Structure 1
């Protein structure tokens, strides 16, 4: 049966790949044969939709070709559609800053301003981009604006998705109870429209929130979800609800019911994926430990450790294993797990673990000392009492010295790791700024070459504007300012405090001067002559009240 499923899966993938290749080839042939350039823009749009699921780079190249053709035809609709698709491309590729720039520009389109529903869809995209950037206040603001418009227009299908996005955003802001209200509305909306594709994720969110929230009678709410006829045949959803029921009972000190629902959930997960869930095994081990059966708990914990080496709660698992071995007085094994915890990064309860480790070592030392005491008793007649005291003191001093050395070694290793990370981050930021210098200088060189080749078009300024827009120079400038300000925080603010009359162009010239670029390099990046750069620097020195002998570069590097 498994072989048959693999064959079916392979055939499905193969057929999808063949269908993609055929569709792409057909569109490429149609684009090549199409003489009407306006219709060709629409074909580029279709080709982009095919590439976006398989090849992001080719999808973007197609958008560039669509943009260039629309500009050549002066076709506003084609330009707007290309602009909208670029914004979504940046969103899909997790470049939220660029996506936000395009979404904000999209709001200025006449067609968007004229339609409330279209404007609401842009608000929804802005909310998702801010959510991706983890700026949840801004995300909630735009999603709520979209919600208000769609609620008024009663476009329910889109409203379901926005309610779900609002629930996720509010939960990320730390308000679990408020997010429940949004998820419940999205749940009712999807039930009404029989949205089987998105319904399971909503139920999973609600089940988790019911289990962890302080709402009244979460057990009844979970069972109500479980008994919904829409999900009775969905084993994955039922397994998740059982898991959350078990978690609820476990937190409420009802290990019997918790174990019952965890076992049900585990049975369904094994049916679905032919393997147990590490979270469930971990929870069953915790229940056994709570009942005092630490041997059974260790069996569950070791199953997780052996079968799921990449378990995301490994630190908690090591802590539980150490406690279980400690309770069984197997101090060597407990000590080993406590030490493993200390070597892991970002330990949340370091103080408690170190205290437990010290206690485990004291107990282990106590056992060793008992045998030493027996030997000392045999030798007591031959040794003087002061020598015995000195020997004990030396033993304790050695133990203390070893512990101090161990802690010092751990501290030094963490400090070295921090230094390496900080150095790597600094190098990455400098590399980004360097790449922007090179990119802008290369683009400006291209512009100069194009201008020299098109001297006969000197009177056509629109041509130059189109070239600059196509190369997106201003967009690069905005991203350069973002990275520069991230590397040199407060630089622009300090300059403005000293000389409020500095313009944006002055600030840009100051940033390049601070980077100690030569006059020629600066001129190439700003697309100016060397004399214009000299004049600009002279003007800035006057605004900063610097004498002719003082170096502007040295002055800026002291800020």
Structure 2
């Protein structure tokens, strides 16, 4: 069952970026709402020969509509728009014709050229302090990086786009950046954070009455709930997205929604309904929806093999496999290969099954290594944030202390200074000793009361012992191993052993990380 979930989510992780580029194109960039069959009237306008700003927008609109028909024509008209806008010193026209050119270049898999066009547009927007265009273009750059699998760069662009959108109260842009961040966190298996981000995005889109945005977010929530194995919620979100999509004259992703509904139905054991959704979704898919088609064929194929329609099922799976071999989506490829291996097991063809399982294991190891790298990066980022906060606090404390010392230095004699310092040392030592004794005698009334060991022990696999809890309280006070050993009348090696067990149980990497984790349970 989980393999089916992964197939669909892996595919949609990849396709969501292209969806964002096409689905939000009207809302994002305020294009005129010419119907699709109005390309001829736009071409007629070119014959008027008015080399003005209106002509620039006509070029931009033609470049947009030709994205679905002829990418070379899209490039041609966007280049004309860029040249005319530059000649007229028409900044907005140059920016958005560059954007249309970047879209066409991306759809042609010319990613370096696409990024160059977007960065050029962003540079022009920056030179003219056009924060709104900067927010939109920065988000688009994130999408392009995301689509290539450069997740770190994509995250940086999305966060920057979100900051720019918030500065100018551009709610729609903020919602789109949040939606994109949610996709990355979903890919990195941080489902709870992704859910929180999607819900923030949904609140903005409902407030803005952004129907297209609401459809897209419900679609992503449907995918996310399938990751969390909550298939009833997944089906509900997909169904709500479908209902809203049907009310619109132009729906860019109704077929993808149907495939998502089929996935939810499959995992709810409604296999016949799932099959109908997959078949209907395949019929409605556009020719450019390669990855969605691969996913649907894989689902449908394994369903047919399992139900006894083995010849037709294998034709679906074989077609999906031949298509995915031309793709660089290794996660999607891994899942298709896995289903091929399972299908050949059902067909009692062990040699072919073993060959596919070997290929699966190779790809699986590669992907797992990448996911471990992601997890390490997130852990390192959290650690860096803690260290940064600690450094800032120490700097603030140092500044306060320095000011206090400057007030005293001119009026205190050296003898008085040393006497004061000795007295202060004595009181600090006495206070610390009394405080340690108090912690040992009544640990639950100490400053560490924020640590709820009863709650923690319910969440970790191996509960903390009383002695381990006692050591943690002393660690929180900043005591060294030697000081703890002295306070508890044991050897320092014993303390080290206890700490090693504590770190293992809590998966902490050091003392700072330990206290931070325990306080956040």
Above 0.5 in TM-score? no
Structure with the larger RCO, 1 or 2 (CA within 8 Å, 6+ apart): 2
Please state which band the TM-score falls in when normalised by the shorter chain.
0.3 to 0.5
With the length of structure 2 as denominator, give the TM-score of the two structures. Answer: 0.45
Q: Give the greater-gyration-radius structure (CA).
A: 1
